Amino acid sequence: MSDGTLNFPKRNSPPSPPSAGRTKLYVDQFDKPKIIKDDGTIEGFESNFGANYFYNANETPATNNTATFQSFTSLTFSGLDTSPTALYRVAVSFAWNYSNGQRNFIGQFTVNNVQFGELFSQEAKDSNADIRHWQSLFVVVTGAELNTSGFIGFNFRAQQSGDTATLYFARLELFRVA
């Protein structure tokens, strides 16, 4: 009587592909279970979550009195899987304020100097008050959208020249989720 377990010998190289419409299971030389498909492709069971983790933070406050984007922080990344099935989370957390309660602080994600996603745009509600608004934003993108290497930036500006947009802190993160 079987206890329901399967025992696979450790292999130094993959077995030959199975016949059409079938798959084979085996254990590689590192004791990792693998699947080989009928077309010869090999897949593992390991999770990619958290792989390729990159981050950078800027804790030096900055102001911008113009309607032109000013860079606040960026991070450089490399070695990403560029397949369309590789998914990455790009996130920013930041503390901001704006001098005019009737107009908007505007923040921008960039990937390799190109705007990515929607602009963040929000009124402070209180004029000239030292109130720090905390915000976190993220997008999930494919490896094909990011490229193998490059950089991500977070920029900010005032809605109208003469107003003061302030960033107190920003942290950028990039990591694989699938």
Check residue 1 and give its pLDDT. 45
What pLDDT score does 131 carry? 82
pLDDT in tens, the chain (178 residues): 467 777 887 888 888 999 999 998 888 888 888 889 999 988 887 788 888 999 999 999 999 999 999 999 999 999 999 888 899 999 999 999 999 989 999 999 998 899 988 999 999 877 767 788 999 999 899 998 888 899 999 999 999 999 999 999 999 999 999 9
Determine contact, residues 92/171, Cβ cutoff 8 Å. yes
Number of other residues whose CB lies within 10 A of the CB of residue 4: 5
CA 136 vs. chain centroid, Å, equals: 13
Domain ranges of the chain: 9-46, 54-176
Residue type present at position 152 = I
Enter the DSSP assignment of 144. H
Tokens of 14: 């993959």
CB atoms within 10 A of CB 168: 16
CA-based nearest residue to 94, from 50, 59, 129: 59
pLDDT number for residue 90:
93
Q: Which two tokens stand for residue 112?
A: 């390799």
pLDDT at 165: 96
End-to-end Cα separation, the chain, in angstroms: 39
pLDDT of residue 116: 87
pLDDT of residue 44: 82
121-124: long-range pairs with CB below 8 Å, 24+ = 121/159, 123/98, 124/97, 124/98, 124/99, 124/100
Nearest to 146, CA basis, from 92, 102, 103, 82? 82
Chosen CATH of 54-176 out of 2.60.120.660, 2.40.50.100, 3.40.50.2300, 1.20.140.160: 2.60.120.660
